[in-house]
Amino acid sequence: MKKRILIVGAGYSGVLTAKKLAKKLKKHSDIEITIVDKNPFHTMLTELHEVAANRVDEDSIKLSLKRIFAGRKVIIKLDTIQEIDFDKKSAVGLNNNYEYDYLVLAAGSRPKFFDVPGADEYSFKLWSYEDAIILRDHIHDCFRKASLQTEIEEKKRLLCFFVAGAGFTGTEMAGELAEYIPILCEKFEIDRELVSIYIADLLPRVIPALTEKQSAKVEKRLNKMGVKLLLKTNVANVNKNHIEIKSDDDDTVKRIETKTVIWAAGTQSAHITSEASKKLPSAQRYRLETDKYLRSLSDESVFIVGDNIYYVPTGENHTVPQVVENCEQSAAVAAHNIECAVLGSGEMKEYRPKFHGIMVSVGSRYGTALVGTAKRKFSLPSFFAMFTKHFINIVYFIQVLGWNKVFSYLKHEFFTIRNNRSFVGGHFSNKTPSFLLVPLRLWLGAVWLFEGIMKIAGGWLKSPMLKGFFSGAASWYDTIVKGASDASSGATPAADGVTSATGAASGTIEAAGQVLFDFDFLGIFRMLFVSGKELAESTLGDLAFKIDVPLLNWFIDKVVLPNNTMQMFMQIFIVTAEILIGLSLICGLFTTLSTTFSLVLQIMFVCTTGLFLGTFWMIFAAIALLIGSGRIFGLDYYVMPFIKVRWKRLPFVRKLYVYND
């Protein structure tokens, strides 16, 4: 009889729990894992503000569940669980009922309105994919309407944005919005002075989880961006056209005319968790109490992970926080303990989370972070805080959707970023039209093809020639380094990266060169930069660079050169590679592969014969053409989409996520 594991919720903790269980139990065909969520995708909730303020495309925060669990024994059900019968071990959904032996509650959170009249009805939320899209479109629509509005008070009402809550979500949304507004003002020709942004909170400072000094810096940044802070201020009422607030200092109610109230004032457990709290031991805001193994205190078949946990770890004074790191760590512990329970073997782990800090971004360019260990944390300056944030996101994406999502994230956050809204500005953003690279691709391909043909004409396919190829170049460098009067063989290094043999000079040359740079790194490698002439008389064709690697030298001297068969194999390989690279680039077919091989060959020449600076352009050209250069006036325009569709259908490709969208 099959044992059934049911996971309710496909948020951070639910997805990770399912993936870890699928990996641990993949050899057990008698165990069934099902994950239920109302959406066919997993949402990056921590990035919602970026979509709401139109910094990134909406697809950047959405991860398909089918792709996440491709090749894994996880059943995906699109449904909304409304009730759980813990006695019968059955979850009741809108579409079906789901029987289980072990249940994982990972339903996440929802906004809490604290009984503020009109807050739920008239405010915009920021707690789901749909929320971010609705808010983004509304903000844009407000500016569009304001640009057509002649009545000044109505125009100001349309251009007033009020954020309720100065925690992580509220602060990040306010900062993102403040950064976006100048762009909208320019687009719709609206005076920036007509736009107002407020952020209010009952607490005395923003993001109290930060140090007071960091909070002060965040407040200063918000003020600089034009955000008006209303701290120690309570929201009394929300209406379609205004919001009423009341300061702690007095009981006077102040009305602010606005069409946009963004509610970010707090969270509580999701509806299904609040329903479960009627039957299971619970605490504040419907969070479910667990034992040290993350099981419900009243039902050992029910595990709780992520935001739904109410648990005070051993030695701590407070319950675990509702942060992504808690979701990740609780998912790992719960998956291990469920494996022990299902298989009836192994020792369960106690949940002892180690949180490494928090971070907040105020717009795309500024952030702060408090990181470290439980006993000692330190703050990071803005650049490193933003770098750390992106790095942590990438680490998470590697766990969830591998290379596919990492590439997509880099594309959205850096390579195609709008209006230079990144902590590195727009320096990595693609701005040069790709068709301008076509002449460079054709020329690089022609050079490779020419050199391959010249090697054939020079006899590379007839007899071994590598001994003179390598030793002549080595002798030339040695002559310059040692300051001898002439070279032992009179050979020079290649005139470019692919003509190290055929372009070698013959006869004796005068050793009039000089060493410009000679650095030996612990005997592992040595970098040489020399000139074949006195520096004052040198041109780029006289300056040569080489990375001398003793291990590689040993391989060439002991394995390649003594064996004529090995020499011929390498010569044939080099000639074939050069011709194929040339044809590939000229035709624009498999250009990423061919430019990669081009770089490999260039590096090989740098580490054996060295390169004259006059031919270093081939390295930089290959780098410039590395990604998608064949899709402009090339066969890749037709071939790559054809291959891509079929490549993604392969089971191992879907499972390992070795593709990109």
* pLDDT at site 7: 98
In the chain, what are the domain boundaries?
Answer: 3-110+269-353, 119-263, 437-642
Phi, psi for 614 (deg, rounded to 5): -65, -15
* pLDDT at site 589: 96
Cβ atoms 60, 32 nearer than 8 A = no
List, for residues 333-377, the tens digit of each pLDDT value: 999 999 999 999 999 999 999 999 999 999 999 999 999 987 888
Pairing of strands 309-310, 288-289: parallel
DSSP 279: T
Please name the fold of domain 119-263: FAD/NAD(P)-binding domain (3.50.50)
In the chain, the amino acid numbered 130 is E
For 3-110+269-353, give the CATH class. Answer: alpha beta
Phi, psi for 151 (deg, rounded to 5): -80, 115
638 pLDDT band, cuts 50/70/90, is very high
Q: Taking 90 as the threshold, does the pLDDT of residue 1 lie above it?
A: no
* pLDDT at site 501: 35
β-bridge mates for residue 93, sequence order = 81
CB within 8 A of 468, min separation 6: which ones? 489, 491, 501, 504
Cβ atoms 248, 257 nearer than 8 A = no
CA dist list (Å): 356 to 169, 350, 372: 19, 19, 5
List, for residues 454-483, the tens digit of each pLDDT value: 999 999 999 998 888 787 788 888 888 887
List, for residues 245-286, the tens digit of each pLDDT value: 998 777 789 999 999 999 999 899 999 999 999 999 999 899
More confident residue, 337 or 415: 337
More confident residue, 430 or 391: 391
* pLDDT at site 324: 94
| C-alpha closest to that of 206 among 173, 242, 245, 244 | 173
Within 53-128, residue ranges assigned H as helices are: 65-68, 119-122
* pLDDT at site 96: 96
* pLDDT at site 495: 41
Percent of the chain's residues with pLDDT above 90: 78
List, for residues 74-116, the tens digit of each pLDDT value: 999 999 999 999 999 999 999 999 999 999 999 999 999 999 9
Distance CA 292, CA 45 (A): 27
Distance CA 143, CA 44 (A): 27
Distance CA 277, CA 268 (A): 12
Q: Taking 80 as the threshold, does the pLDDT of residue 645 lie above it?
A: yes
Cβ atoms 70, 654 nearer than 8 A = yes
Q: Taking 90 as the threshold, does the pLDDT of residue 136 lie above it?
A: yes
List, for residues 516-552, the tens digit of each pLDDT value: 989 999 989 999 999 988 888 888 888 999 999 999 9
Determine the number of helices (DSSP H) and then strands (DSSP E) in the chain. Answer: 19, 29
| C-alpha closest to that of 203 among 234, 173, 162 | 234
More confident residue, 418 or 270: 270
Domains 3-110+269-353 and 119-263 share a fold: yes
More confident residue, 650 or 507: 650
Cβ atoms 422, 383 nearer than 8 A = no
List, for residues 171-213, the tens digit of each pLDDT value: 999 999 999 999 999 999 999 999 999 999 999 999 999 999 9
Taking phi first (over 0 means left), then psi (-120 to 50 degrees means alpha), and beta for anything else, what does residue 294 get?
Answer: left
List, for residues 290-340, the tens digit of each pLDDT value: 999 999 999 999 999 999 999 999 988 899 999 999 999 999 999 999 999
Average the pLDDT over 416-438 and give the result.
Answer: 87
Mean pLDDT across the chain, nearest whole number? 91
Q: Give the count of alpha carbons within 13 A of 132, CB side only.
A: 26
Single pTM value for the model: 0.84
Per the structure block, which two tokens stand in for 200? 């209010």
Distance CA 170, CA 207 (A): 9
Distance CA 583, CA 591 (A): 10
* pLDDT at site 512: 57
More confident residue, 468 or 451: 451
